[in-house]
Structure 1
Amino acid sequence: MNNPSYQPLLPVSRSRALLFCLLLTSFELLVYLGSDMVMPAMLQVTRDMHASSAHVPTALNAYLLGGIAFQWLIGPLSDRYGRRPLLLIGAAGFAAACLAAAACGEITVFNLLRFFQGIALGFIVVVSYPALQETFREQDAVRLMSLLANIALLSPLVGPLLGSLLLEWMSWRTMFAVLGGLGLLVGFGLWRGMPETLGVVRTDGSVLSFTPLHLKQNWANYRGLLADSTFVCGSLALGLLTLPLIAWIGLSPLLLIRNLGYSGLEYGLWQLPVFGGVIVGNLLLNRLALSRSLPALLRLSLAPMVCGLLFAGASAWLAGGLPALVAGLTVYAVGLGLGNATLYRLTLFSSELAKGSVAAMLGMLSTAMLGGGVAAMSLAEAGDSPARFTAAILISSLLALPPLWRLLRQPPPQQQAA
């Protein structure tokens, strides 16, 4: 962050621009921790509220649903009224929902509050990322986005373990209060340090203007994307290929703590190899992206994903138990880290529409697949045993093959443009 090459395009000091970047990173990490760190506490939440443990994945689904529910509106509103006020609203809403959850006593209200907390995910996707791109020069923005992606991976890696450790000396209510307090602190920092990226003359002489709000045109763009088979296939494949990891986040508390009797700390430790695999895959992507095309990278990523899931499946039927399942998921996670950003990029640039609309629809479709998949796995009681869980993620991966095959048959984006 102290590299002098990080120079802002806005007429603000470099220190303020980097402070904004740090605050943006803090907000993103806090929102992701709001999901991953809370998962170890969910069985305590259901017990305290005299609710069924089936609400453990339901709370995760509510969080994911909140993330996709208003992306279609948040993006156009930020174009009309500016990035800064919209992001401040997102930070304040997240903090308020966390503080309300700390005082909640009924599971239905709790799940509704999880939905409102998850809306902050939408602000990250369609407000935070564009604001960062508009603050810095292209090369610096790409480097900073890579840094943000690596920091985001820390949440699923350390979030469950951190949540388990915190539960040793604080209640889940206190945990939500802490999240809410940190949300207010980050929101105050953004209020003080975030510059507006629209309507100002930048150092290169350009001006990014405010855009009138035309919901009819936005809806027409979204309908066009839903009619684009390549885009839809890429979005569905992205959600289905990520589903085993999200299902692990949502159902592993039931599998490890309720059914296998592990402690909260042991539960957290079992997360480390899986999310460590994602980081390894991400580092491999950073090295290989310079020498390989995006379709080649995506095909390469399929090898560890398929091998890992097949190993987990074979081991489950041979009574391999939890260690074999985690070993298979770890190999799969390496492939996911290598292929996730690649598939996202291919899908994002499969359409010539403005990338804000494309990113919003891509996020809504892929996240809907994640939420629906976790809900289906919960109904199938996939968290009852390693064998059931493995069967569920194998089915989701098989469903990803047809749309993925359709996407890979398309020429690379640069050839389409030609």
Structure 2
Amino acid sequence: MTTKKYIKLILILGSLTALGPFSIDMYLPGFSGIAKDLHTTVAKVSMSLSSYFIGISAGQLLYGPLLDRFGRKKPLFIGLLVYILASLGCVYVADIDSFILLRFVQAIGSCAATVASVAMVRDLFPVKDIPKVFSLLMLVLGLSPMLAPTIGGYVTEDYGWHTVFFILMCMGMAILIAAQVGLPNSYKPDTSISLKPKPIISNFLKVLKEPQFFTYAFTGSISFSGLFTYVAASPIIFMDIYHVDAKTYGWIFAFMSVSFIGSSQLNSVLLKKFSSEQMIFGALITQSVIASVFLILAVNNLLGLYETIAMLFLFLGCLGISNPNTAGLTMAPFAKNAGSASALMGAIQLGLGALASFAVGVFVKDSVAPMVVIMTSTTIIAFIVLNIGKRFIKEKVEVSKDDDVLVGH
């Protein structure tokens, strides 16, 4: 493969990967504007985030079988088309319920891009290059939550929140054209794959029964729902409670991403010395201590804007360490069912994330405390699940040192 072709493929796959995070983070600075225009509360607007997470969660399970059955490009084309139309709908939306529904449809569409990009890395690159390609895509995934809210903050302040969805629609169109023109047909449709619910469900059940899968998938997903809690609560916390403007909010959000990305880079250094299990255990203990201190401060009203930012920064740092390791150990036992295992892991993670962000919409109104309560309880539950689940694992499958694991946002 020529360098030019290699770069072209990475750029297209990277843009497919970035569509999801941009759709999640770019409109966050517009929450109070959306609430005002649609005559509702910011907490109700945050339900549109939950509906987006539910959409991605369901979409993960849906596209896995479709991409194997019909090849990569057809489902990708249809998914992106759905995404473009839903984004257009969001530009002209008149009430909050239609907005929440359109965000769900938008998520189902964008999910095609996320799942297809992972599948196509496996199709297009030789096995020895796959970890390197995934690392590059991880960089895109990492930069997206830094760039998206900052850009969104400026667009919202200067042109209003409708423009954000117009930009997302244009991104969808550009990616659709690039994917159709620039990506080869990397996979022959496999007509033997049944799309009947029964074989698909039995495949997922087989994956679920593996003790190493359920232990680390649930440990990882429950602790990771702390991140979703933060994402959903952050517009309410920073813009409603601490009264920062949309641009400043975008910068705060970008600063928080540094913690998550920095610690996941530190993770690869620490793995030379420690095993994945030790890393998860250490990260969860540290995270429990940080969350408990955070809770004591929140309940006693000892948190200002800067203290809140500092505590969240430390909390997210622990997730950057535990998340790649739980993902690696979750996927390790599956040489054959990797697609189903990866889809199921993504669905569990996003499903629990949707629940957490839903709880934020219900409980977080005028204080930081409910957000911290949710974060502390998810961390402690994850720690308990880890210690109970470990007892069921008879033979442990290790992650080989040169494997890189793709982590969902």
Matched, 1:264 2:253: no
Gap change, CA 1:62 and 1:228, over 3 Å in 2: same
Q: Distance in 2 between matches of 1:391 and 1:214?
A: 42
Alignment deviations for residues 283-338 of structure 1 (CA, whole Å, 9 cap, x no partner): 11222334432212322333442343233223223433132232122112222111
Match of 2:371 among 363, 383, 389: 389
Alignment deviations for residues 208-257 of structure 1 (CA, whole Å, 9 cap, x no partner): 96653253321111223344444233222222211222111111111221
Match of 2:225 among 243, 250, 258: 243
Code of the aligned partner of 1:323: Y
Give runs of aligned pairs for residues 322-361 of structure 1, distance below 5 A: 322-351=305-334, 354-361=337-344
Aligned to 1:412: 396
Q: Distance in 2 between matches of 1:214 and 1:264?
A: 45
| Conserved 8 A contact 1:126-1:359 | no
Give runs of aligned pairs for residues 66-215 of structure 1, distance below 5 A: 66-199=55-188, 211-215=192-196
Deviates more, 1:318-327 or 1:189-198: 318-327
Give runs of aligned pairs for residues 231-380 of structure 1, distance below 5 A: 231-321=213-303, 322-351=305-334, 354-379=337-362
Q: Distance in 1 between matches of 2:273 and 2:114?
A: 28
Deviates more, 1:71-80 or 1:308-317: 308-317
Q: Distance in 2 between matches of 1:91 and 1:341?
A: 28
| Conserved 8 A contact 1:225-1:231 | yes
Match of 1:221 among 200, 203, 206: 203
Alignment deviations for residues 249-298 of structure 1 (CA, whole Å, 9 cap, x no partner): 11111122123322112222322342211011111122233443221232
Q: Distance in 1 between matches of 2:356 and 2:340?
A: 24
Deviates more, 1:233-242 or 1:93-102: 233-242
Aligned to 2:407: none
Aligned to 1:205: none
Q: Distance in 2 between matches of 1:337 and 1:118?
A: 24
| Conserved 8 A contact 2:58-2:347 | yes
Q: What is the TM-score of this pair, normalised by structure 2?
A: 0.89
Q: What is the TM-score of this pair, normalised by structure 1?
A: 0.88
Gap change, CA 1:288 and 1:134, over 3 Å in 2: farther
Aligned to 2:194, the other structure's residue is in SS state coil
Aligned to 2:384, the other structure's residue is in SS state helix
RMSD of Structure 2 on Structure 1 (CA): 2.2
Alignment deviations for residues 54-110 of structure 1 (CA, whole Å, 9 cap, x no partner): 222201001101101132231111111101222222222222211121111121111
Question: Percent identity at matched positions?
Answer: 23
| Conserved 8 A contact 1:90-1:120 | yes
Q: Distance in 2 between matches of 1:399 and 1:35?
A: 26
Q: Distance in 2 between matches of 1:266 and 1:329?
A: 16
**Structure with the greater relative contact order (CA < 8 A, sep ≥ 6): 1 or 2?**
2
Q: Distance in 2 between matches of 1:403 and 1:138?
A: 34
Code of the aligned partner of 1:265: K
| Conserved 8 A contact 2:29-2:235 | yes
Code of the aligned partner of 2:326: L
| Conserved 8 A contact 2:284-2:379 | no
Q: Structure 2 stretches of 5 or more lacking a match?
A: 400-409
Give runs of aligned pairs for residues 3-18 of structure 1, distance below 5 A: 7=1, 15-18=4-7
Q: What number of residue pairs does the alignment pair up?
A: 395
